[in-house]
Chains A and B, each alone.
Chain A
Amino acid sequence: DGGITQSPKYLFRKEGQNVTLSCEQNLNHDAMYWYRQDPGQGLRLIYYSQIVNDFQKGDIAEGYSVSREKKESFPLTVTSAQKNPTAFYLCASSIAPQQHRESYNEQFFGPGTRLTVL
């Protein structure tokens, strides 16, 4: 079955430690995204990548880093510089918009990783 996976579902870390969240997709999508969600809030974009070996900062990139060495993988590292890392992290993927003249670039979301920093 095609889809997008995130692991683990729950993650606990001590303050000051870097942590890397996994995101894998087998949908052959070019574009991938990382969002953060805080309780009762909407999603905010951290980073996105429209092609391998290229990525752009979203609205709240400070304290985060990403890599895109493979089309199917887009890991997110939450560094110790992120002031409030405890949140629900969501990864998504879509067909790159330039492949479609219409705006039908629906984003498929993974199940999310809930990170708690103690």
Chain B
Amino acid sequence: DAKTTQPPSMDCAEGRAANLPCNHSTISGNEYVYWYRQIHSQGPQYIIHGLKNNETNEMASLIITEDRKSSTLILPHATLRDTAVYYCIVRAYSSASKIIFGSGTRLSIRP
């Protein structure tokens, strides 16, 4: 599975959009991009995933570049409850279903 690179930390004002970048320059054609988040001392929570098209759900939007080498997770109206570590992961359905987690981005939302 391809590796990802994320900034170690970011901050965002409450009510503004939080844009979290992820680089995955070695992504293969059959690998999906997944985003999870982990609030302190809890289990990770699935947010969204995509292959090549942009995706949106009730939690967030995922923008994947045309060459698929990077993506951005967008939280449209960040709240204090969005403070968490956000993990960007790429993996293929053909591999074992284990997830390889990196260090993620620690997102802090300021009032």
Contacts and interface: CB of A to CB of B under 8 A. Distances in A.
B101 A44 contact: yes
Contacts of A92: 43-44, 99
A111 B42 contact: yes
Interface size class of B (residues with CB under 8 A): 20 to 34
A45 B101 CA distance: 9
B13 to A, nearest CB: 25
Contacts of B87: 42
Most buried by B among A44, A100, A103, A104: A103
Contact of A42 (B34, B92, B101): B101
Interface residues of A, number: 33
A103 B46 CA distance: 14
A42 B49 contact: no
Interface of B: 30, 32, 34, 41-46, 49, 51, 87, 91-93, 96-104
Given A45-B99, A97-B93, A102-B93, 19 more contacts: A33-B98, A33-B99, A40-B103, A42-B101, A48-B96, A90-B44, A92-B43, A103-B32, A103-B91, A103-B92, A104-B49, A105-B97, A106-B34, A107-B46, A107-B99, A109-B45, A110-B43, A111-B42, A112-B43
